[in-house]
Amino acid sequence: MREERSDMSEDEDGGGGSAKSRGGGGAPPPFSDQVLEIVLENVLQFLSSRRDRNAASLVCRSWYRAEAQTRRELFIGNCYAVSPRRATERFRRIRAVVLKGKPRFADFGLVPINWGAHFHPWVSAMAAAYPWLEKLCLKRMSVADGDLSLLAHSFPNFRELSLICCEGFSTAGLAVIAEKCRHLRVLDLIEDYLEDDEDEMVDWISRFPETTTCLESLGFDCVGGAVNFEALEALVTRSPALRRLRVNHHVSVEQLHRLMARAPQLTHLGTGSFGSAAAAAAAAIPQGGNNVVDLVSTFAASKSLVCLSGFRDMAPQYLPAIYPVCASLTSLNFSFAEISAEELIPVIRHCHSLQIFWVLDTVRDEGLQAVAATCKDLRELRVFPLDATEDSEGSVSDVGLIAISEGCRKLRSILYFCQQMTNVAVVTMSKNCQDLVVFRLCIMGRRRPDHVTGEPMDEGFGAIVMNCKKLRRLAVSGLLTDKAFAYIGKYGKLVRTLSVAFAGNTDLALMYVLEGCTKLQKLEIRDSPFGDSALPAGLHHYYNMRFLWMSSCKLSVRGCMEVAQRLPHLVVEVIRERDEDDDHEAVEKLYMYRSLAGPRNDAPPFVEIL
């Protein structure tokens, strides 16, 4: 499923982000060395892992050069960690770029708009340096239509564009991409915010070339407006290589039916609304029955389907239509469908091969029990709350968590929203699911203790870090004392990403983590009582991290300034949203990250770089 790419593995990025600076250049090496380098290049081109490549580049100057010449994929985990110029000067033959911008807490509205992460300087540099660029993946970047236009005009061989959680562009930009990128294979728009006015939308679907296309993947479920359906149907018809299609909620189930008939070879399908267009709904009689029958046979004919998503406006009577493909589904996303346990059970019963399952908590513990009973191969589970407030009733609980842990022993990744939890349930999961790599539990009530014992959730999370030896990503919640963080520091040796909210008692908690988690790369903290005296505990480690985010904690300018002075290659940003009413000294939001580029020159007025 496309969504899994949003959790891209967070390796140390050496792609220009290494703190050890390297200059290129100097006099050309002697002949024998040149031969050696050519041999080396031929060998190194097979090296794909960027961590291996980073290691190779550190051996000696010769290896550094050879590696730089042979690297094809550039990964920039933080767009401000290195300047576009520097990156393009070191790596000359890049074909694919991954570029990430804003800190993750931007997804939750904690980063003001216009903070930065502009794509423009990057696309300008790449347009000059990488004429053979084929693939681009952007995450949390600010992308303008002009940038997309420049992209479309600069890279004649361009093939794949993925925009994840980006904003700033509109259907006008998409139109240029569709029209100019004649070799486009992939256009995936995932959870982006398009800047369209309802009446100014461009019919971008019609702009694809009229000949047979080489499209393999087209995903636009986040595009707000309706697309020209006739054009879409025609496009699908002339795209024989299409394997992944994700339409938006404006596509009704009747229209979906037509699209599926044109593309029985699809492997991934985003079903759009999966409800009837209003007119047909009004009839709601025997015709409706025929519709379902037709849909069932269409699904039966789609023998390659392994991934289903969408279901934005699902009419329950259409759900049985997917039965024919359930047994072969590896990925199912119901997270926008308000279905009950009764509606889920007949479906999930067939899904023996399911590995990835996203669902709304409307299915309740009972629904999760059904999942646990059938989906023995489940690797990833995400349970989202329909009512995302602190005092909602809560539809899933420790019962569901325990059931999942007992049924889905191969679980690797879980994201679970609930209103209340028990330590016992979390401990049970830690023992049953030894393969856990990602454990994210969000108890929505802030600082809520174990609802049976009244105790903090320390023991539960402690068990997770103790028992799950492969754990790399952890998000904690509920009532947590410093003890929980002592556990994390002591046992979370592989943890790379840690998210903390409304937790801990004293600075000790943060110190435990900074001192203990040797592999920590991304630390994001909000609303926790950690102050200046904890920051020095990480001085030895900040250069190894992608970033540290702390908001609504107890930091002051003085404490942050000390860090900035001790570590010159660290960019320390203080973000102030409010006007200077009260405390000038208090730091509301701190975002700090290593950088070879120094303080950025595009910082908006509310960002102060220390």
Mask 467-496, x = binds another protein (CB under 8 A)?
------------------------------
Figure out which of the listed residues 4, 35, 193, 300 binds another protein, where binding follows CB under 8 A: 193
| Per CB under 8 A, 109 contacts another protein | yes
Distance CA 149, CA 151 (A): 5
Figure out which of the listed residues 389, 454, 568, 601 binds another protein, where binding follows CB under 8 A: 389
Distance CA 590, CA 572 (A): 7
Figure out which of the listed residues 390, 583, 585, 602 binds another protein, where binding follows CB under 8 A: 390
Query: CB 421 → another protein: shortest distance, Å?
Result: 13
| 456: Cα within 13 Å, side-chain hemisphere | 18
Figure out which of the listed residues 82, 110, 319, 411 binds another protein, where binding follows CB under 8 A: 110
Query: CB 74 → another protein: shortest distance, Å?
Result: 26
| Per CB under 8 A, 593 contacts another protein | no
Figure out which of the listed residues 444, 486, 520, 564 binds another protein, where binding follows CB under 8 A: 444
Q: Which is nearer to another protein, 110 or 563 (CB)?
A: 110
> Residues 571-583, buried b or exposed e (16+ Cβ, 10 A)?
bbbbbbeeeeeee
| Per CB under 8 A, 384 contacts another protein | yes
Burial, 289: exposed, middle or buried (Cβ in 10 Å; 0-12, 13-18, 19+)?
exposed
| Per CB under 8 A, 588 contacts another protein | no
Long-range contacts of 3-9 (CB under 8 A, 24+ apart): 3/190, 3/309, 3/333, 3/358, 4/356, 4/380, 5/137, 5/162, 5/164, 5/190, 6/139, 6/164, 6/165, 6/190, 6/191, 7/413, 7/438, 7/473, 8/98, 8/139
Q: Would you say 456 and 484 are in contact if contact means Cβ atoms under 8 Å apart?
A: yes
Q: Which is nearer to another protein, 94 or 574 (CB)?
A: 574
Query: CB 312 → another protein: shortest distance, Å?
Result: 8
Of 210-218, 233-241, 340-348, 383-391: span binding another protein (CB under 8 A): 383-391
Q: Would you say 24 and 89 are in contact if contact means Cβ atoms under 8 Å apart?
A: yes
* Size of interface with another protein, in residues (CB under 8 A): 41
Of 18-26, 34-42, 104-112, 234-242: span binding another protein (CB under 8 A): 104-112
Distance CA 488, CA 499 (A): 12
Name residues contacting another protein, limited to 230-289 (CB under 8 A): 249-250, 278, 281-286
Figure out which of the listed residues 101, 116, 310, 385 binds another protein, where binding follows CB under 8 A: 385
| Per CB under 8 A, 336 contacts another protein | yes
Of 155, 146, 158, 168, which is closest to residue 102 (Cα–Cα)? 168
| Per CB under 8 A, 416 contacts another protein | no
DSSP state of 531: B
Q: Would you say 356 and 1 are in contact if contact means Cβ atoms under 8 Å apart?
A: yes
Distance CA 574, CA 558 (A): 11
Figure out which of the listed residues 28, 30, 198, 393 binds another protein, where binding follows CB under 8 A: 198
Figure out which of the listed residues 417, 512, 591, 593 binds another protein, where binding follows CB under 8 A: 417
Residue pointed to by tokens 């939890």: 421
Distance CA 488, CA 495 (A): 9
| Per CB under 8 A, 391 contacts another protein | yes
Q: Which is nearer to another protein, 33 or 191 (CB)?
A: 191
Q: Which is nearer to another protein, 224 or 536 (CB)?
A: 224
| Per CB under 8 A, 550 contacts another protein | no
Q: Would you say 125 and 85 are in contact if contact means Cβ atoms under 8 Å apart?
A: yes
User: H-type helices in 91-192, by residue range?
Assistant: 120-129, 145-154, 171-180
Distance CA 523, CA 521 (A): 7
Query: CB 284 → another protein: shortest distance, Å?
Result: 6
Name residues contacting another protein, limited to 301-320 (CB under 8 A): 312
Q: Which is nearer to another protein, 88 or 276 (CB)?
A: 276
| Per CB under 8 A, 446 contacts another protein | yes
| Per CB under 8 A, 168 contacts another protein | no
Give SS3 for 604: coil
Which neighbouring-strand residues pair with 414? Answer: 381, 439
Distance CA 321, CA 253 (A): 11
Q: Which is nearer to another protein, 201 or 372 (CB)?
A: 201
Query: CB 468 → another protein: shortest distance, Å?
Result: 21
Residue 32 makes CB contacts below 8 A (sequence gap 6+) with none
Figure out which of the listed residues 4, 52, 107, 342 binds another protein, where binding follows CB under 8 A: 107
Which neighbouring-strand residues pair with 217? Answer: 186, 244
Figure out which of the listed residues 25, 30, 46, 108 binds another protein, where binding follows CB under 8 A: 108
| Per CB under 8 A, 394 contacts another protein | no
Give SS3 for 568: coil
Q: Which is nearer to another protein, 515 or 527 (CB)?
A: 527
Q: Which is nearer to another protein, 39 or 283 (CB)?
A: 283
Give the pair of three-digit tokens for residue 272: 């759009």
Q: Which is nearer to another protein, 387 or 515 (CB)?
A: 387
Give the pair of three-digit tokens for residue 282: 């009004």
Q: Which is nearer to another protein, 53 or 140 (CB)?
A: 140
Note the residues at the interface with another protein (CB under 8 A): 105, 107-110, 113, 165, 191, 193, 198, 222, 224, 249-250, 278, 281-286, 312, 335-336, 338, 384-391, 417, 442, 444, 446, 499, 501, 526-527
